[in-house]
Amino acid sequence: MRVLGIETSCDETGIAIFDDRLGILSHQLYSQVKLHADYGGVVPELASRDHVRKILPLIQAALAEAGCGSDEIDGVAYTAGPGLVGALLVGATVGRSLALAWNKPAVAVHHMEGHLLAPMLEETAPEFPFLALLVSGGHTLLVRVDGIGRYQILGESVDDAAGEAFDKTAKLLGLDYPGGVQLARLAESGTPGRFVFPRPMTDRPGLDFSFSGLKTFAANTIHQQGDDAQTRADIAHAFQSAVVDTLAIKCKRALKQTGLNRLVMAGGVSANRQLRAQLAEMMAELRGQVFYPRPEYCTDNGAMIAYAGLQRLKAGQTVGLELVVKPRWSLDSLPPV
C-alpha cells in the first residue's frame, strides 16, 4: 500500500509518500520560520494562508520525487488535529478533495499519534509495549503504548509544555524565533552549576508536568543577574538542564511504575542533544532501550502522517465526505488498530 501524507497542523507544510514495502519514497517540507520570525511566534492567519500557497506545489514535488502518479496512490492521510484550526482545514480540505478526485480512501490522522509512531520509520523500530515521551510544541505527554491506538496517558503538562517553555524563555533571553533551538545552542557555552533552577513537580508523586513556574524563575533570574553574554549562556544552561532533568525523572518514574524497559521519545524537543544523551545514559543504567526518530522526523513532517495513516487505512478506518478537524483531540480517544 502506498499513502500520501499531508501535515499542516501549525507552521510547517509537510508532504510525503510512504510505501509499506519500500518505505519513504518522497519527503517534502516547507518551514514558515522566516514568515513568523518578525512576530516572535506563529500568527495563525498567516500560517493558514501560507499552507494554501505551498501545499499543492509540494504535493506535485512529492509525486515527482517518488516517480509515481495519482493512480499509484492507494490512500490519502492528513492531519486532522490537534493544531491550529485554520491550518488543519487547509490540509484536510486538500487531502479529502484529492482522495475524492482520485477515488481513493482518506483517513484523518491524530498529530501526536504521528509523532508517537515516527520512530517506526527507522531501521531499528521499537516493539510494543513501550513508554512514550512526546514533547512537541504545546504538548508534553507520557504514554503507555500497548499497540497502535492502545494508549494510556500517564502524565501530561498542566500548563506550559516543555517546548513552549523553551521558546518563551528564549524570548526572555533575547533570542530569535524559533527560540528553543537557539536556547539549546546558547546553553552549550554555559557554565554548569553557576545557576541551579528547580525541577518542577519532581518532589511529589505523579507523572504530570508543569513548566510555567520554571519559565518565571528564569525571567526573575534574567532580571536580577544582568544581561551580559556569559550570564545569558549560563542561564540557558541552567534552564535546559532543569527541563531535561525533569523529563528524565518523570520517565524513570513511569518506567518503574509500568515495568516497561523500552522508551520512545518523539516530537520537536526530542531532537535536543542533551535530552537524548541523558535519556540514553539513563536507559543504559536501567538495562533498557531508547528509541527516537532522526532529527528531520522529530519536527512536524508528512512522513509520520503517511505512516500513521497507512496503519489506519489497513484497518479500514477511513473517513466520509464530511470535513472534520479537531483543534483539541485527546490521544487516548483513538480506536485501536
Q: How would you classify residue 316: left for phi > 0, otherwise alpha for psi between -120 and 50, otherwise beta?
A: left
Determine the distance from the C-alpha atom of residue 113 to the mean position of all C-alpha atoms in its chain, rounded to a whole number.
9
226 assigned binding-site residue: no
DSSP 7: E
Count Cβ atoms below 10 Å from residue 19 Cβ, excluding itself.
18
Residue with the three cell numbers 492567519: 45
115 assigned binding-site residue: yes
Is residue 191 a contact partner of residue 243, using CB atoms and an 8 Å limit? no
Cα Rg for the chain, rounded, in angstroms? 20
270 assigned binding-site residue: no
147 assigned binding-site residue: no
Amino acid letter for position 45: E
Half-sphere exposure (Cβ direction) of 292: Cα atoms closer than 13 Å: 24
Give CA–CA dist 3/5, Å, rounded: 6
Amino acid letter for position 326: K
167 assigned binding-site residue: yes
138 assigned binding-site residue: yes
5 assigned binding-site residue: no
User: What is the edge-to-edge ordering of all strands in the sheet holding 106-110?
Assistant: 23-31, 12-19, 2-7, 75-81, 106-110
Count Cβ atoms below 10 Å from residue 203 Cβ, excluding itself.
8
Binding residues for substrate: 134-138, 167, 180, 272
Binding residues: 111, 115, 134-138, 167, 180, 272, 300
Binding residues for Fe cation: 111, 115, 300
